[in-house]
Chains A and B, each alone.
Chain A
Amino acid sequence: MSVTLFMTTMVLYLAGTVFFLAYLLRRSEALSKVSLAVTGIGFVSHTAALATRMMAEGHVPLTSFYEAMSFFSWALVLVFLGVEIRHRMHVLGSFILPLAFLSLLSAAALPKEVPTLEPVLRTVWVHVTLSMLGTVGFAVAFVAGIMYLIQDGLLKSKRFNVLYAKLPPLDFLDKLNQQAIVTGFPLLTLGIIAGAISAEFARGSYLNWNPEQTWALATWLFYFVVLMGRLTVGWRAKRAAYLTIIGFAGVVLTFIGVVLKGHGPVT
């Protein structure tokens, strides 16, 4: 059941991606409704998939990488729909949906079996949920950063093309970037603390400086500096856009590193 729903979701997100990209490149607004409808149905199906899996497993489905990626994708679409409802900013979908689809696709490539957890590790889902929600914040900041740089470039070079017409005002993107980091950073912080506590229970040490942990801490520190820079010395606009793009690239690399090493955060 849950597998069928995941496949349906994936197909719908793919369709949403295609529609949203077509929407982005055409002058007409007509495609926005279709894109949104497809995405909305995809989201419902995704929610159902997660719920089914949760009932099947008997706990929050966030213990494997596969589940973490799927949850990430779900939360990303949730944030998009939230922003969409508030600001009617369809064009955000043209950037978020591809990311959500790719996350789900990479989730599908990962093994689906749930690792058998030792009882002490049952709390690990707290760590994963919080870290993933923090990462969603960084992903939104990344998307806002890319959109910012495109619009900035178009304005500077005075190319008033379709993209220019579709992209939102610069300061909206900058605010979105800021809000995403301001929300994402505390969540990641809590996620890391929760992870450290779990690790203390599991292994008897908060931190053992393995490469993933080191990377995670480096990421945390990086976003800390980005956030402080914005709040104190005006690292906003173009600079914030660049920094959040670099930061998210770091996050993705950490993930890839962890996956390639072949073990999830539970081991």
Chain B
Amino acid sequence: MNIIVVGLSHKTAPIEIRERLAVPESRQGEALSRLCSYPGIREGILLSTCNRVEVYAVVEQLESGYARVQEFLADTHLSLSSEQLTPHLYWHADDHAIGHLFRVAASLDSMIVGESQILGQLKDAFEMALAHKRSGVILNKVVKKAISVAKRVRTETKIAETAVSVSYAAVELAKKIFSNLGEKTVLLVGAGEMGKLAAKHLIANGVQRVMITTRDSHSAIDLAKRFNGVPIPFDEFRSELAAADIVLCSTGASQYLIRTEDIQKAVRQRMNRPIFLIDISVPRNIEPSVKDVDNAFLFDIDDLEMRVEQNREERQHEALRAERMVKDEVGVIGQWLKSLEVIPTIVALRNRAEEIKRSELDKTLGRLGSLSPEERGVVEGLASAIVNKLLHGPLVTLKAEAHSAGGTMFVEAARRFFNLDGVTASAPLDDAERADRLDDPAPLVTPGRVSGCAGLEHQSPQKTTDEDP
């Protein structure tokens, strides 16, 4: 039994291939059912975003598993032949597949490292698989772990902290000048896309008052409606500069619209309160010497882009730390997966029984005092007989189910019933896991599987009763 991933991403495939392979949400359920109908595929999740299409699956055999999943991908879009697809695909198994999933979830494999969208997309894909009952014991655990790893990376590194778009870099700079954007006023000059985007980000970060001016008064009025702002006639906007804390300039004008004198005057009127000017226009619309005016802070597109570039580098640096975390976490889950194998479980079960038998025998024999060797033999025989008879059922079942679809469930069940991992063995996972379990969208039991195992994934009694009305 192996965990595999087969897929392609922005790193291996051009948009032309990705867009053809992408599976719209409405068809994902059907696609998942088709995936799991291939022989040897026990569990499956389909992650389809604009940057990647990946299939995570639990398969009985590695090579045939790879082949089936690839076949599935080729079948998903009939116009793509397997030969066209193959050069763009990557295949990973077991630790590498899990590591890949963790890196994807933590946005280490994203086009923009640290962006947060992918985590939501992974959650959606997981819910889809749960709703269609295609994710089982193994993928449930692995994906939940991936989500908690992603959260850990987010909180413990600065990977997502810095701006990686020009429009957002403007917000980041504004926050270094003003502590509370809520009480600040933005003046948007021009209707350039970048300017509008920056204004949107500023509003999202608390700015409440927006003034808008464009050469064409109609578009100013339109924009004012959109941003809930005030339109200002274009030939009067210079006299409003003093009222603005942040000036966003993004027009197609070929000359300077704001000159040094304008800003000197505005700063005087503002009694030296700082004014933050962003010139996203090319050619520039704010006279560059404005930067020499005290308490005026001018940034042009190059400055913002430099900031973005620095932030990217910083994210890369943080990504290295995140990679180390991923490596650790893969080790943890690898341990768990290993425990799911049947033979070690049988051995552990026998050892545990032997251990209990020994300690109880010692106690009892101690209390009985002097016994003849014969009597001793009878007592020991009794103990052995009880233990062996009790274990017989579970051991036979474990062996029989080892290669069935629900095999891992039985192993997991045995390990928990007989407490084979000790109380603390699975502790590092527990908190996050329990929290995740509480908001499970759907019961995890496939009708065809033994329903008694349902409770294994849901230890809380309410959950079990929900499923068994």
Q: Which residues of A contact B (CB under 8 A)?
A: 27, 151, 155-156, 158, 160, 164, 167-172, 175, 233-239
Partner of B175, one of A169, A175, A233, A234: A169
Q: Nearest chain A CB to B64's CB is how many angstroms away?
A: 48
| Cβ A233 vs Cβ B271 within 8 A | yes
Q: Nearest chain A CB to B273's CB is how many angstroms away?
A: 7
B264 at the interface (CB under 8 A from A): no
Which residues of B (286-311) have their CB < 8 Å from a CB of A?
A: 291, 294-295, 297, 299, 303, 306-307, 310
Chain A neighbourhood of B297, CB < 8 A: 155-156
Q: Which 9 A-B pairs have the closest CB atoms?
A: A234-B271, A172-B179, A169-B179, A234-B272, A237-B272, A170-B177, A237-B295, A236-B272, A171-B178
When chains A and B are docked, how far (Å) is the Cα of A235 from the Cα of B273? 9
Encoded as 1 (CB less than 8 Å from any A CB) or 0, chain B from 159 to 179 comes to 000000000000001011111
Partner of B274, one of A164, A170, A233: A170
When chains A and B are docked, how far (Å) is the Cα of A171 from the Cα of B272? 11
Chain B neighbourhood of A167, CB < 8 A: 176
Encoded as 1 (CB less than 8 Å from any A CB) or 0, chain B from 388 to 410 comes to 00000000000000000000000
| Cβ A237 vs Cβ B274 within 8 A | yes
| Cβ B310 vs Cβ A169 within 8 A | no
| Cβ B274 vs Cβ A158 within 8 A | no
| Cβ B306 vs Cβ A158 within 8 A | yes
Q: Nearest chain B CB to A7's CB is how many angstroms away?
A: 38
When chains A and B are docked, how far (Å) is the Cα of A9 from the Cα of B211? 54
Chain A neighbourhood of B291, CB < 8 A: 156
17 contacts between A and B (CB under 8 A): A155-B177, A156-B291, A158-B303, A160-B310, A169-B175, A169-B178, A169-B179, A171-B177, A171-B178, A171-B179, A171-B273, A234-B270, A235-B272, A236-B271, A237-B273, A237-B274, A237-B295
Interface centre among B176, B178, B274, B314 (most CB of A within 10 A): B176
When chains A and B are docked, how far (Å) is the Cα of A238 from the Cα of B292? 13
Which residues of B (305-328) have their CB < 8 Å from a CB of A?
A: 306-307, 310, 314
Chain B neighbourhood of A172, CB < 8 A: 179
Chain B neighbourhood of A168, CB < 8 A: 179
When chains A and B are docked, how far (Å) is the Cα of A180 from the Cα of B172? 27
| Cβ B294 vs Cβ A238 within 8 A | yes
| Cβ A169 vs Cβ B176 within 8 A | yes
| Cβ A171 vs Cβ B274 within 8 A | yes
Q: Nearest chain A CB to B162's CB is how many angstroms away?
A: 9
Q: Nearest chain B CB to A39's CB is how many angstroms away?
A: 23
When chains A and B are docked, how far (Å) is the Cα of A175 from the Cα of B183? 14
Encoded as 1 (CB less than 8 Å from any A CB) or 0, chain B from 257 to 297 comes to 00000000000001111100000000000000001001101
Per the CB 8 Å criterion, the residue count for chain B at the interface is 22
When chains A and B are docked, how far (Å) is the Cα of A237 from the Cα of B274? 7
| Cβ B295 vs Cβ A238 within 8 A | yes
When chains A and B are docked, how far (Å) is the Cα of A167 from the Cα of B271? 24
When chains A and B are docked, how far (Å) is the Cα of A134 from the Cα of B270? 29
Q: Nearest chain B CB to A219's CB is how many angstroms away?
A: 24
When chains A and B are docked, how far (Å) is the Cα of A164 from the Cα of B175? 12
Chain A neighbourhood of B271, CB < 8 A: 233-234, 236
Chain B neighbourhood of A158, CB < 8 A: 299, 303, 306
| Cβ B177 vs Cβ A169 within 8 A | yes
Chain B neighbourhood of A236, CB < 8 A: 271-273
When chains A and B are docked, how far (Å) is the Cα of A156 from the Cα of B175? 15
When chains A and B are docked, how far (Å) is the Cα of A233 from the Cα of B269? 10
When chains A and B are docked, how far (Å) is the Cα of A151 from the Cα of B271? 20
A167 closest partner in B (C-beta): B176
When chains A and B are docked, how far (Å) is the Cα of A234 from the Cα of B273? 8
Chain B neighbourhood of A235, CB < 8 A: 272
When chains A and B are docked, how far (Å) is the Cα of A94 from the Cα of B73? 57
Chain A neighbourhood of B273, CB < 8 A: 171, 234, 236-237
When chains A and B are docked, how far (Å) is the Cα of A155 from the Cα of B178? 13
Chain A neighbourhood of B177, CB < 8 A: 155, 169-171
B169 closest partner in A (C-beta): A160
- A156-B297, A238-B295 known, 19 other contacts, Cβ within 8 Å: A27-B158, A155-B176, A158-B303, A158-B306, A160-B307, A160-B310, A164-B176, A169-B175, A169-B177, A170-B274, A171-B177, A171-B178, A172-B179, A234-B273, A237-B272, A237-B294, A238-B272, A238-B294, A239-B294
A234 closest partner in B (C-beta): B271
Q: A156-B297, A158-B303 are in contact. Are A239 and B272 (CB under 8 A)?
A: yes
Chain B neighbourhood of A160, CB < 8 A: 307, 310
When chains A and B are docked, how far (Å) is the Cα of A168 from the Cα of B177? 8
A174 closest partner in B (C-beta): B274
When chains A and B are docked, how far (Å) is the Cα of A168 from the Cα of B176? 7
Chain A neighbourhood of B270, CB < 8 A: 234
When chains A and B are docked, how far (Å) is the Cα of A90 from the Cα of B430? 34
When chains A and B are docked, how far (Å) is the Cα of A178 from the Cα of B407? 71
Q: Nearest chain A CB to B389's CB is how many angstroms away?
A: 57
B311 closest partner in A (C-beta): A160
When chains A and B are docked, how far (Å) is the Cα of A167 from the Cα of B177? 10
When chains A and B are docked, how far (Å) is the Cα of A160 from the Cα of B176? 11
B177 closest partner in A (C-beta): A170
B181 closest partner in A (C-beta): A169
Which residues of B (201-243) have their CB < 8 Å from a CB of A?
A: none
When chains A and B are docked, how far (Å) is the Cα of A160 from the Cα of B306? 10
When chains A and B are docked, how far (Å) is the Cα of A238 from the Cα of B273? 10
Chain A neighbourhood of B307, CB < 8 A: 160
